[in-house]
Structure 1
């Protein structure tokens, strides 16, 4: 039992070493300025530093969640945004309906990285859950 609590405490301590919550005042101004330029209507902004990359979670509009990553020089590295089914490209919907006809959509994210867009789609039916990564043309990535 002692070992159990020690391992839990150690894992919490080591996870704190790799990700650190930051007040915006400790984020480089070039990063904050670029973020504010990219997302002027952002609210509920939370910053974190992970492996020398600035991660920011925020909302825009009516509770639409986003997560963005910035390098120390203010370049956006990656962006994830929550989507609804209506916002998915028709090719993505067609692939899911064809390949997984008994599944329903559960959670959808649009991931933009290096100017490439991928849709992370969680689907489920009565007995199974799956996560799919699909490009804009409806091709499932393996």
Structure 2
């Protein structure tokens, strides 16, 4: 029985590695070129197919973990990286305290798109989880409940 378990585990690991390698090799050349142009100092990235029309690269820059999304045509869509709550500016903290006082901050990311730079928060109060997006001035751009099945897909 132990041998069967070991073989099964080895097979699963092999399949995961094969899938990862396949994703790395299937990234369209135009997407990799767009990534290299946008991030010329990044030498290594891990690629995943985000959807039928989108690719995501995960990489480190200045010791910070980033992700960047590109369309199949090589159009840059978004770059994100996590930040610590203590690194948020006072105006953003003030908005969170006034609008979401009873919520705990679970995750904070800075998201850059062609429309600008934004703070994205995942906040929680009891069993309620929300995604909140603020612009750099503290204006609330999005407030949405996070369903449990959405979380499992992330």
Render the CA deviation track for 1:67-113: whole Å, top value 9, x for unaligned.
22112332201222212224434322110122233434221012222
Rounded to whole Å, the distance in 2 between the matches of 1:126 and 1:71 is: 37
Cross-structure match for 1:4 = none
Paired position in structure 1 for 2:56: 55
Aligned pair count reads 122
* Distance in 1 separating the partners of 2:45 and 2:74: 20
Partner of 1:46: 47
Q: Which protein has greater RCO, CA pairs closer than 8 Å, 6+ apart? A: 1
Kept in 1, the 8 Å contact 2:42–2:59? The answer is no
Change (3 A) 1:85 1:57: same
Structural RMSD (CA): 2.8
Question: What residue number does 2:29 align with?
Answer: 29
Decide whether aligned partners of structure 1 residues 97 and 53 sit closer, same or farther in structure 2, where only a CA change above 3 A counts.
same
Q: Distance in 1 between matches of 2:67 and 2:135?
A: 19
1:107 & 1:42 partners in 2: Cα distance? Answer: 27
| Structure 1 gap segments, 5+ residues each | 1-19
Return closer, same or farther for 1:30/1:43 CA change in 2, 3 Å cut-off.
same
Distance 2:55 2:122 in 1: 26
**Structure 1 segment 82-93 matched on structure 2, within 5 A:** 82-93=82-93
Secondary structure of 1:95's aligned partner: helix
| Structure with the higher fraction of residues in helix conformation | 2
Compute the TM-score of the two structures, normalised by the length of structure 1. 0.65
Alignment TM-score, normalising by the size of structure 2 = 0.61
- Check the 8 A contact 1:46/1:58 in 2, yes or no: no
